[in-house]
Amino acid sequence: VLTCGSSRLARFAVADLEALTDKPVFLLEGGTASWIKAGLPLEHGESRLASPRIDRY
């Protein structure tokens, strides 16, 4: 699942990630802002990262 503040930037990364893996890739519609608005839980800080964060988009 890819997300960012509003989901606009993450939307660009979906096709790139799909091309690199045979796993399904999903976009969190509305981004993190919608998640927060729905009252869903958040983790703070960098937790459970598969690799160091690299902002590319």
DSSP string over the chain: -B--SSSHHHHHHHHHHHHH-SS---B-TTHHHHHHHTT-----SS-S-SS------
pLDDT in tens, 9-53: 888 889 899 999 988 999 999 988 899 999 999 888 777 777 777
Q: How confident is the model at residue 57 (pLDDT cuts 50, 70, 90)?
A: low
The model carries a pTM of 0.61
Query: Where are the chain's structural domains?
Result: 8-37
